Amino acid sequence: MSMLAPQAILFDWDNTLIDGWAAIEAGLNSAFAAFGKPAWTREQVLANVRKSLRDSFPEHFGAQWERARDIFYEAVRGSHLQVIRPLPATIGMLDRLTHLPLGVVSNKQGALLRAEAEHLGWGQRFRTLVGAGDAVADKPSGAPLHLALNQMGLTAGPHIWYVGDTAIDMQAARAAGCVAVLLGDAGHDGGIAACAPDLAFTDGVQLAARLHALDK
């Protein structure tokens, strides 16, 4: 597709801007252990964590999913601020995008997402941070993207990019009517072709450089 410079960019959070997998893995395995289920390796976590908790836990834990949810969140809250790290290209990319309105739409619980952004000192980088449970539905629905854009005083369309690392992110972008932008090779999610993005960039460095060229 032809590439036009966006008027605003929304980002996914985990594995797009930050690495917080250690806390997610710990939370999942605490819940699995409580129900006598086998633990997941990091590779299994990366390959399977896509949906929000309210969409995925009923599949894993049935009628007991709310108990599993409480165990998961207790474990995550105990470590997530200590283990989160920006991905290598994130800060440089965000520093080059300060001329654009930026937001985050994640399938991580909204309170956890906002606590992580505050911990990183990123509160001023984003005009809004929308997480799971904040909208009427979570990704792959377009609802959380519409909520974020509404909070930013914007509307969806081809002038808005949504940047993520999985097929669900690309589906959410299309559901909202935005440009679906893949960051990375999606090796944990079937590869670039399986995700079918509108645009794809190796990392944040390449994305920022392309945007800089478009602005010129």
- What is the tens place of the pLDDT at every residue in 194-209? 999 999 999 999 999 9
**CATH number for position 52:** 1.10.150
Which are the contacts of 39, defined by CB distance < 8 A and separation ≥ 6?
Answer: 29, 32, 33
Burial class (CB in 10 A: 0-12, 13-18, 19+), 194: exposed
The range of the structural domain enclosing residue 64 comes to 21-82
Reported as a single tens digit per residue, the pLDDT across 111-133 is 999 999 999 999 899 999 999 99
Residue that terminates a domain, selected from 59, 82, 105:
82
**Residue 3 belongs to a domain:** no
Question: For the whole model, what pTM was predicted?
Answer: 0.93
DSSP conformation class of 24: H
- Show the 3-state SS of 58-75: HHHHHHHHHHHHHHHHHH
pLDDT, one tens digit for every residue, the chain (216 residues)? 556 889 999 999 999 999 999 999 999 999 999 999 999 999 999 888 988 999 999 999 999 999 999 999 999 999 999 999 999 999 999 999 999 999 999 999 999 999 999 999 998 999 999 999 999 999 999 999 999 999 999 999 999 999 999 999 999 999 999 999 999 999 888 999 999 999 999 999 999 999 888 876
Residue that terminates a domain, selected from 82, 109, 133:
82
- Tally of domains within the chain: 2
